[in-house]
Amino acid sequence: MLKEWSRDLALALEFLTRLPITLRGYSDAAERTRALRAYPLAGLLIGLAGGAIYALAIWVSLPPLVSALLALATMMKLTGALHEDGLADMSDALGAPVERARRLEIMHDSRIGTAGALALIVTVAVKAAALAELAEIEEVVAALIIAAAASRAVLSLAAFFTTPARSDGLGAAMGEPSGAVVLWACGLAVLISLLFSSFGFTFALLGLIALYCLVFLIVVRKVFGGYTGDTMGALQQTVDVLVLLTAAAW
């Protein structure tokens, strides 16, 4: 059991970060799908890295907003801006008044348009502002960890309740997780939230995320015919924003 979880975490970190992870043997599709349950743990480590940079920046007397931007930049560097790229691509596709097939082509295009650029600017700005509003090191670290874990847990939820819009790409490669994988991922995200915040905050956050994911997946299915790697990235980023805004307003 422990060996499986260790491998799942390694697979999650290999995919979600740019860390030099070396895996023994070949990982098949079933293993990569099972590794979705460890995504919240990978998120915890990513959030912790951002929190450490924020604490260091505050320690050397940098302003909260600058410290927040440095923390976010660290996390983007650590992940290779994987999900930010998806947010930009999906925003470009949504902003184009074209048919579904063309929208999918736009998302597949590596170039970024005006809508995508604006989405990234606004997202980073809102995150930084929310973290600066929290200001206190303990609160910022907790918010970053909870957001990073929860926003990656919902990816298994999206893969479970919807189908890929294309037969190729990162989205399809995630596979169809079992109910057990989804429960583990969501359960770990809830546990992490409870460890770093109150029951009331976790309960409220759970309801907000569930409602948001429902609306998001309905839109994705209607507009794109299912999920893609880019819509998964957009989901992660927007849930990230939702968690940080909730923390700032709590």
pLDDT of residue 172: 64
Rounded-to-integer distance, Cα 233 and Cα 25, Å: 28
pLDDT of residue 107: 81
2-19, pLDDT tens digit by residue? 888 999 999 999 999 999
pLDDT of residue 189: 97
62-78, pLDDT tens digit by residue? 999 999 999 999 999 99
Q: Please tell me the pTM assigned to this model.
A: 0.94
Query: Is 81 or 28 the better-scoring residue by pLDDT?
Result: 81
**Poorest-confidence range of 84-88, 149-153, 172-176?**
172-176
127-143, pLDDT tens digit by residue? 999 999 998 999 999 99
Give the largest Cα separation in the chain, rounded: 52
Please check whether residue 155 is in contact with residue 232, taking contact to mean a CB–CB distance below 8 angstroms: yes
- The CB density around residue 247, as the number of other CB atoms within 10 Å, is 22
Q: Could you tell me the pLDDT band of residue 95, with boundaries at 50, 70 and 90?
A: confident
pLDDT of residue 35: 94
Q: What tokens appear for 231 in the block?
A: 């819509």
Residue 25, pLDDT above cutoff 70: no
Residue-averaged pLDDT of the chain:
92
Tell me phi and psi for residue 227, to 5 degrees: -90, 160
pLDDT of residue 33: 92
182-227, pLDDT tens digit by residue? 999 999 999 999 999 999 999 999 999 999 999 999 999 998 888 9
Residue 92, pLDDT above cutoff 80: yes
Residue 117, pLDDT above cutoff 90: yes
Query: Is 53 or 96 the better-scoring residue by pLDDT?
Result: 53
pLDDT of residue 128: 98
Query: Is 160 or 102 the better-scoring residue by pLDDT?
Result: 160
Residue 166, pLDDT above cutoff 80: no
Give just the sign of the alpha carbon dihedral 100, 105, 109, 113: negative
pLDDT of residue 238: 97
pLDDT of residue 190: 97
- The CB density around residue 6, as the number of other CB atoms within 10 Å, is 11
Please check whether residue 117 is in contact with residue 88, taking contact to mean a CB–CB distance below 8 angstroms: yes
pLDDT of residue 54: 98
